Amino acid sequence: MGGLGRITGVALLGLAFAGWQAPHANAAYITVNGSCFAGNCASPDIIPVPGTSPLVFDSDVTLANGDSFNISGQIFATNTSANFLILNPIFDVKYLGPAPSQADTLNIDITQLYQNNFSVGTYSSTLAGFGTGVFGAGSSISVQNVVGGQGLPTLGPAGLPGKFNLTDSETLSSLGNPLTDSLDYTIAMGAGSMAGVIVEVAEPGSIATLGLGLIVLAASRRRRKGSRSR
């Protein structure tokens, strides 16, 4: 499996009508195979009550074996005075080449910190989306939702290509403040995958009820990007 070689391109926070904005405080951060990909990984911000923060990213990742991917999408997070929290990760992973691929693994971890006033919560996690293109044998996607250091059952692996929609619900206690939520995705790309294959995550990530409040950590549905040329 290929290790992380380098990350190239742009990973910026916030999107204005006329172009990219400067980095936004309190945003989520993303690591790919343990290396910082977007956001403030070394000293992450905490979304206060109330607070909101977007993260828009579009960068290429080249593994040590030379296989390259583009990872693009957006995350929108908010923390309201009613303890309603939202984390919306919606993203595409596209294999750029060379073709055919070697056997690769991408560990994409999306993490957000929140100010939190509750110690108990019931989480409903979802892994949903689709893969399209010619994938090598054994290609798959899975996710584990880790809340306050407590890992929920892993959803998947779901085979690629095709649609996937998996759910689970668990009750957690001893949730701290700040509350860290991490959606840890693993995409296995089987040897022989062809350039242009796409994996899209575009459905709710997790929904949780905390104490008397409601926390939603979700991925909102968006229009399929399809075969975006590069």
Q: What is the DSSP string of 40-51?
A: -SSS--EE-SSE
Q: What is the pLDDT of residues 136-160, one digit of tens each?
A: 999 999 999 898 898 989 999 999 9
Domains of the chain, residue spans: 4-217
Residue in the block written with tokens 């880790």: 146
In whole angstroms, give the CA distance from residue 215 to residue 175: 13
In whole angstroms, give the CA distance from residue 186 to residue 140: 8
**CA distances (Å), origin 16, targets 21, 51, 66, 74, 205:** 6, 19, 34, 13, 26
DSSP 8-state class, residue 82: T
Q: What is the pLDDT of residues 4-61, one digit of tens each?
A: 443 333 322 222 212 233 345 667 899 999 999 999 899 888 888 888 888 899 999 9
Helix, strand counts (H, E) of the chain? 0, 19
DSSP 8-state class, residue 195: T
What is the pLDDT at residue 210?
57
What is the pLDDT at residue 13?
29
In whole angstroms, give the CA distance from residue 63 to residue 61: 6
In whole angstroms, give the CA distance from residue 124 to residue 117: 19
Q: Is the torsion defined by CA of 213, 219, 220, 221 positive or negative?
A: negative
